[in-house]
């Protein structure tokens, strides 16, 4: 059985109850799904074709389709052949029963077929969600064949309800759990089915990264000595104020095939990284137009829903449940450090390592753990390269492995955070060098404890950036050149983390100067990374705002938070998760459920009957649930308001 304690689910519901949408939401996090279409007939019915096409447009492109209408016995075979990592959606059992009762198959022992299907469900190794119409609440059919269909479907539903781990009844878009769930497991409006557990305690010993790697977290600084192997990052699990859901195992896809050198991924410009689903995001946005919100809907938060849908490859995304914060702490010498107190920075990092402070508190509330990575100090950028080429390579690989470790641990979101000395000035220099922006317009003011601004320190930083840009005016400005000359170890680790996250299809929340500067560098290595990044709030920082604009990102919110890089994103995360959860759980507006011809929104959004039907997929949820046999054979049902 899976971590969230179900392997097979039966979803029952009436016509247009929302049962298919609910069933699809249960498996929204699966990397791929086999959709088993059961019904037959309807090829000459344009309205039926329109229903089929509406279902097909709702499914992610990663899903595949298998038809069993011509051979209902094949359904049991598909279940028997399913592997532990497979996910199947059978929609629906009404079509399967109609095919079973096809006069062309008679005489036949239909009860034996139902018993064989129930046995296949009990022994199935994969995850399966069955959708079935609950027809027992209507009038007794007036015809013998109608009564036979109702009886057979009722028998099938009972057999599978006995065999499945969980059973839900969907009424008016609202699921009610009949078997296998209690109040402690699920709310009545829940879509996903996570197990409520507290974050796992993690000892300070760094044991999550590949011990075989020689990638360094503490990198060669000013002297440009060869990189040496340092300690791995420390994992901290802040105390959660409330129980958090267990991580969903949805970000487990392997890195797509990339060039390697000596067994390591070659992090070089022109990397071919994965892209989010190009249709799922816009489709999720379009779907929100029909959701039953009292007003205009989610507003700016729609951007978060669209991002989650694209990165998860589904039009009904689930809210992130298991974030990991990557806290990178670096130090830069020279004018970049003007106005920063190294002792105060060290105090803040130590607080995080002990589970204290604002960042730890917010992480605990979000159910996130924190990977704290200290890197060695870089040189003064105005004087020469801050690290050497070998240290750049080591830092990039270290960041890549940090992202891979998060994915391997089942984390579904990365929050990039930074606490360091001179980070703002270095990020400004990198942004100015890569975008040709005016550095003085980007450099944040220097805020000292007590709430006053140190403009003298700001001018020292400006002078250091000016001298640095003058020094490299005739130097190559490739991604690795920028990291060697200006960025240093912390920026290189952040760059590698962004690339590694994209390779594992893991979304990242950017938050502050370091994250934006790293994204500007990373896009010159793998341009796809910007599609895996979301900016919850720009904090009113011009450096972040302009860098995001160059990357094609837009701040979701305008909160003007100044809690520190990483803490801003964690503070906004509950609102983002609420929006995504509402988008998945809110029912469709009744006007969208009007029958064709009633003059409602359904008519405005109806598909063009002249379009050719897509081979293969057949629905049955709220758009017409089953196929009732006729004396001449099965055909599209005409019952059902």
What are the residue numbers of the active site?
Answer: 55
Residue 566's φ and ψ, nearest 5 degrees, are 105, -45
Q: Are strands 413-418 and 508-509 parallel, antiparallel or unpaired?
A: parallel
Reported as type and span, the H/E element at residue 416 is: strand 413-418
Q: Which residues contact 308 (CB under 8 A, 6 or more apart)?
A: 284, 317, 318, 319, 320, 507, 580
Identify whether the C-beta of residue 527 lies closer than 8 Å to the C-beta of residue 380. no
Reported as type and span, the H/E element at residue 452 is: strand 452-453
Identify whether the C-beta of residue 233 lies closer than 8 Å to the C-beta of residue 209. yes
Residue 326's φ and ψ, nearest 5 degrees, are -100, 105
Task: Extract the tokens encoding 92.
Answer: 């629906």
Q: What is the DSSP string of 520-538?
A: HHHTTT-GGGGGGEE-SB-
SS3 of 283-295: the string is: HHHHHHCCECCCC
Task: Extract the tokens encoding 303.
Answer: 């951007």
CA separation for the pair 161, 16 (Å, rounded) = 21
Residue 100's closest CA among 132, 68, 138?
68
CA separation for the pair 173, 263 (Å, rounded) = 51
- Locate the DSSP E strands across 147-243: 166-171, 174-179, 196-197, 234-236
Q: Are strands 174-179 and 166-171 parallel, antiparallel or unpaired?
A: antiparallel
CA separation for the pair 578, 536 (Å, rounded) = 14
Residue 106's closest CA among 636, 635, 634, 638?
634
Residue 624's closest CA among 636, 613, 632?
636
Reported as type and span, the H/E element at residue 244 is: strand 244-245
CA distances from 298 to 44, 187, 306 (A): 40, 22, 11
Identify whether the C-beta of residue 72 lies closer than 8 Å to the C-beta of residue 109. no
Reported as type and span, the H/E element at residue 309 is: helix 302-312
Residue 446's φ and ψ, nearest 5 degrees, are -95, 110
- Locate the DSSP E strands across 134-192: 166-171, 174-179
Reported as type and span, the H/E element at residue 64 is: strand 64-67
| Residue in the block written with tokens 């002792």 | 343
| Residue in the block written with tokens 């790697």 | 213
DSSP lists the bridge partners of residue 64 as: 34
Identify whether the C-beta of residue 252 lies closer than 8 Å to the C-beta of residue 390. no
Reported as type and span, the H/E element at residue 401 is: helix 389-408
Q: Which residues contact 23 (CB under 8 A, 6 or more apart)?
A: 9, 11, 89, 91, 129, 130, 131, 621
Q: Which one-letter DSSP state was computed for residue 488?
A: H
């Amino acid at each position: 059985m899976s971590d969230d304690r179900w392997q097979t689910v039966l979803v029952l519901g009436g016509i247009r109850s929302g049962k298919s949408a609910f069933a699809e939401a249960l498996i929204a996090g699966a990397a791929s799904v086999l959709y088993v279409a059961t019904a037959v007939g309807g090829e000459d019915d344009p309205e039926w074709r329109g229903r089929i096409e509406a279902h097909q447009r709702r499914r992610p492109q990663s899903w595949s389709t298998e038809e069993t209408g011509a051979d209902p016995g094949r359904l049991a075979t598909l279940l028997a052949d399913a592997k532990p990592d497979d996910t199947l959606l059978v929609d629906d059992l009404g079509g399967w029963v109609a095919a079973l009762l096809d006069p062309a198959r008679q005489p036949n022992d239909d009860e034996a077929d139902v018993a064989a299907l129930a046995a296949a469900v009990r022994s199935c190794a994969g995850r399966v969600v069955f959708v079935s119409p609950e027809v027992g609440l209507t009038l007794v059919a007036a015809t013998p064949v109608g009564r036979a269909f109702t009886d057979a479907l009722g028998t099938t539903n009972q057999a599978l309800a006995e065999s499945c781990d969980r059973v839900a009844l969907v009424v008016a878009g609202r699921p009610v759990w009949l078997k296998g769930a209690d109040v402690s497991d699920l709310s009545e409006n829940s879509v996903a089915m996570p197990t409520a557990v507290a974050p796992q305690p993690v000892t300070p010993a760094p044991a999550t990264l590949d011990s075989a790697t020689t990638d360094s977290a503490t990198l060669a600084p000013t002297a440009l000595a060869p990189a040496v192997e340092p300690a791995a990052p420390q994992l901290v699990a802040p105390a959660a104020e409330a129980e958090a859901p267990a991580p969903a195992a949805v970000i487990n896809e392997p890195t797509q095939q990339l060039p390697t050198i000596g067994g390591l991924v070659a992090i070089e410009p022109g990397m071919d990284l994965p892209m989010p689903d190009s249709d799922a995001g816009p489709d999720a946005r379009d779907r929100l137009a029909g959701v039953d919100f009292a007003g205009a809907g989610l507003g700016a938060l729609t951007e978060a829903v669209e991002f989650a849908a694209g990165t998860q490859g589904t039009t009904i995304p689930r809210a992130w449940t298991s974030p990991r914060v990557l806290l990178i702490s670096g130090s830069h010498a020279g004018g970049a450090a003007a106005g920063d107190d190294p002792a105060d920075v060290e105090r803040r990092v130590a607080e995080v390592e002990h589970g204290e402070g604002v960042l730890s508190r917010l992480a605990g509330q979000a159910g996130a753990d924190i990977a704290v990575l200290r890197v060695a100090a870089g040189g003064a950028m105005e004087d020469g390269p801050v690290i050497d080429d070998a240290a750049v390579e080591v830092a990039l690989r270290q960041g890549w492995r940090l992202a891979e470790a998060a994915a391997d641990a089942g984390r579904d979101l990365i929050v990039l955070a930074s606490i360091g000395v001179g980070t703002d000035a270095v990020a400004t220099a990198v942004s100015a060098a890569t975008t040709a922006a005016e550095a003085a317009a980007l450099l944040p003011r220097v805020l000292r404890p007590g709430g006053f601004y140190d403009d003298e320190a700001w001018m020292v930083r400006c002078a250091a950036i000016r001298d640095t840009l003058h020094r490299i005016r005739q130097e190559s400005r490739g991604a690795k050149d920028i990291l060697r000359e200006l960025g240093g170890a912390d920026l290189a680790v952040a760059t590698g983390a962004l690339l590694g996250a994209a390779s594992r299809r893991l979304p990242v929340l950017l938050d502050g100067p370091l994250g934006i500067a790293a994204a500007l560098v990373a896009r010159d290595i793998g341009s796809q990374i910007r599609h895996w990044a979301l900016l919850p709030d720009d904090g009113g920082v011009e450096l972040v705002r302009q860098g995001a604009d160059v990357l094609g990102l837009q701040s979701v919110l305008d909160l003007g938070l100044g809690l520190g890089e990483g803490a801003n994103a964690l503070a906004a995360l509950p609102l983002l998760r609420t929006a995504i959860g509402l988008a998945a759980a809110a029912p469709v507006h009744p006007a969208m459920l009007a029958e064709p011809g009633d003059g409602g929104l359904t008519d405005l959004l109806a598909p063009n009957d002249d379009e050719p039907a897509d081979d293969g997929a057949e629905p049955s949820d709220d758009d017409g649930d089953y196929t009732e046999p006729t004396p001449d054979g099965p055909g599209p049902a005409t019952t059902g308001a």
